[in-house]
Amino acid sequence: MNPNDKTFSIRIRDGAPRLDACLVPHLRDEGFSREKIKKLIKDGFVRVNGQVLTLPKADVSPGARIEVILTRAPSSLAPKAGELKVLYRDAALAVLDKPAGIAVHPGAGPEQETLAHRLLAHFPELGKMEGFRPGIVHRLDKDTSGVMLVALCEESRLVLAGMLARREIHKIYLALLHGVPKRREGVIETPIGRDPANRTKMAAQTGGKAAKSAYRVLYADPEGTFSLAAIQIFSGRTHQVRLHMQSIGHPLIGEALYKSPRYPDKGAKRQMLHAFKLAFAHPLPDRAPPGSKLEMSFTCPPPADFTACALSLCRRPLRLVVTGSPGCGKSALLSALSAAGLPVFSADKVVADFYAPGGDGTRQLQARFGGRFTPDPQSGVDKAALGAAMRAEDSLRREVEALIHPLVFHALRQFWTEDARGRDFAVAEIPLYFETMRGKEKAATPDAAQGAPLVIGVRCPFAVRHERLTRLRGWKEETIAGMEAWQWPEDKKMAACDYVLDNSGSLADLEARTRDLIAFLEEERRKKDDAYASKFAALYIS
């Protein structure tokens, strides 16, 4: 006898019209369906009063003794302990939250631990089923996470398999896609079959098996970099979601097998696909717990790596503007922030570059005013002459601003979008932000959804600023007065800021206050990240 065999006897007291009907109530808990019982009889594993009977419909007399030999295939899986997150279980089924990175069952490749091994350790009753896929009624790809259904007895497995074939089990996935589909909702019905050029892959192609998916964009990145989509599948073809989304030009982020050279790698370590929802009718209502709902629905939020990937893709640098009156120490603060590793932008430096020989500002002023401010184009703009004229003629000042400010806006936009890409913060020093730029952010804002930047004001009493301007810059009284006239009053300017840093003390004082500012900025960054996380969580729930 096979050491894996199990033999037990049944005494029939009242008789039954058929042999297979006699065995149903006794073998059902062993995981045997009616069809499997018939096969057991036909294969000679049932004896009635010591004689083998191979006819399932044979009559059984009252008092008959039936012996059954249950054979376990020697190749059955061995249980292996491992983490298993169970969302629900009863006598007939279990619903799991499958982690990414583990195969559902053994395949043709090298032997490895699978979800099936862990299932056997958590649900010993699955050991009554044969083969290498006990209880598995549908599968998720190794690197796909999410909600998954398992049958805990053979009868349940057969019913659920039929429900899947009839498309009575509803499945919805969440996916992070490269780009944003032009149509925010759509149905894809491209057939799927084995790739003729590579038999280890599937392909969305004519001649394959019918496949249908419906997608809906839940979030579209304003810059068009990525999108979050909910995808319902009406068939269960291998790699269906991955192939269907690729077929419309928007492959999954992290896709390795079907990746497109059109899209660069986003740093994801797996395809960003998560089985989010399962809805179905209970396959065996008599096995359901008393009072439980027979129309079952389960949702499972995405794991941390999925959410982190989404947040990293929609994350933009926290944009900061440093402003203040002349001599307050804006540039010193900018240097301190740069030394702390933050990318910085100086409007004054950009304008100085524009006024250099061959600069865009030099060409603009020469084209408009001739040689008045560019007597020697090889030397750039005569900034002293230009400054004096702007202080003397308000209309000329506005005209020069109309020429130069669009150049500054363009440079600032490039800084926000390119130079600061992938960073937590981006700091721009703009002395006349409130006076000339506030309300005009669209010209320099990459994403209108970001809103206005966070404004950091540097406060310093006029007496201290005056001393610095005369001692360090050599400004004369008329220059100081003219520059002050262009500014909002300091109290008004500081009142409009989101954060005010006092810089009336020493350099050591500034360094300490800069550390306080960075702590404030990190908290603001955390708040923005939390807001994005809540936003995505709300999308999942809805």
**Spatial separation of the C-alpha atoms in residues 472 and 459, rounded to whole Å:** 18
- Please give the pLDDT value at position 74: 44
- Please give the pLDDT value at position 99: 97
Nearest to 192 by CA among 209, 178, 176, 215: 209
**Long-range CB contact pairs, 252-261, < 8 A, 24+:** 252/175, 252/176, 252/177, 252/178, 253/176, 253/177, 253/178, 253/226, 253/309, 253/313, 254/143, 254/176, 254/309, 257/201, 258/201, 260/178
Write out the two tokens for 17. 């019209």
- Taking each helix axis from N to C terminus, what angle separates 383-392 and 394-414, rounded to the nearest 10 degrees? 120
User: What is the reported pTM?
Assistant: 0.75
**Spatial separation of the C-alpha atoms in residues 242 and 188, rounded to whole Å:** 12
Q: 94 pairs with which residues across the strands? A: 89, 150
For residue 165, give the 3-state DSSP assignment. helix
Higher pLDDT, 437 or 197: 197
User: Which residues does 3 contact at the CB level (< 8 Å), separation at least 6?
Assistant: none
**Spatial separation of the C-alpha atoms in residues 32 and 286, rounded to whole Å:** 16
- What mean pLDDT is predicted for residues 85-108? 92
Tens digit of each residue's pLDDT (9 = 90 or more) over 328-361: 999 999 999 999 999 999 999 999 999 999 999 9
User: At residue 366, what is the residue type?
Assistant: Q
- Stated as kind and residue range, the H or E segment containing 537 is helix 507-541
Most confident listed range (1-10, 203-212, 336-345, 527-536): 336-345
**Is residue 132 over pLDDT 80?**
no
**Spatial separation of the C-alpha atoms in residues 394 and 402, rounded to whole Å:** 12
The dihedral built from the CA positions of residue 174, 214, 242 and 251, taken in this order, carries a sign that is negative
Within 10 angstroms of residue 394's Cβ, the number of other Cβ atoms is 11
Q: What's the CA angle centered on 427, arms 423 and 433, to 5 degrees? A: 145
Nearest to 120 by CA among 155, 81, 149, 93: 81
Nearest to 284 by CA among 159, 165, 136: 159
For residue 268, give the 3-state DSSP assignment. coil
Tens digit of each residue's pLDDT (9 = 90 or more) over 409-458: 899 989 988 888 888 999 999 999 998 876 555 555 555 556 689 999 99
E-assigned strand segments in 180-236: 185-188, 192-194, 202-204, 213-220, 226-233
The 8-class DSSP code of residue 286 comes to G
Tens digit of each residue's pLDDT (9 = 90 or more) over 244-298: 999 999 999 999 888 877 887 777 999 999 999 999 999 999 999 988 889 999 9
Q: 226 pairs with which residues across the strands? A: 178
Delineate the domains of the chain, giving CATH numbers in brackets.
6-70 (3.10.290.10), 85-305 (3.30.2350.10), 314-541 (3.40.50.300)
Distances from the Cα of 405 to the Cαs of 364, 385, 430, 454, in angstroms?
Answer: 12, 19, 11, 20
Please tell me which residue in 141, 143, 305, 382 is annotated as part of the active site. 141
User: At residue 114, what is the residue type?
Assistant: T
Tens digit of each residue's pLDDT (9 = 90 or more) over 3-61: 555 666 777 766 667 888 888 877 765 657 778 888 888 888 888 888 888 898 888 88
The answer to whether the beta carbons of residues 241 and 179 sit under 8 Å apart is no
Mean per-residue pLDDT over the chain, rounded: 88
- Taking each helix axis from N to C terminus, what angle separates 360-369 and 347-354, rounded to the nearest 10 degrees? 60
CA 207 from centroid of its chain's CA atoms? 34
Q: 145 pairs with which residues across the strands? A: 274
Provide, rounded to the nearest whole percent, the portion of the chain with pLDDT above 90: 59
- Taking each helix axis from N to C terminus, what angle separates 477-486 and 383-392, rounded to the nearest 10 degrees? 60
Q: How confident is the model at residue 1 (pLDDT cuts 50, 70, 90)?
A: very low
- Please give the pLDDT value at position 259: 80
Establish whether 447 is a catalytic residue. Answer: no
- In terms of Cβ atoms closer than 10 Å to its own Cβ (0-12, 13-18, 19+), residue 442 is exposed
Range name among 108-117, 145-154, 475-484 with the lowest pLDDT average: 108-117
- What mean pLDDT is predicted for residues 203-225? 92
The answer to whether the beta carbons of residues 400 and 391 sit under 8 Å apart is no
Nearest to 331 by CA among 495, 514, 520, 518: 514
**Spatial separation of the C-alpha atoms in residues 480 and 471, rounded to whole Å:** 12
For residue 524, give the 3-state DSSP assignment. helix
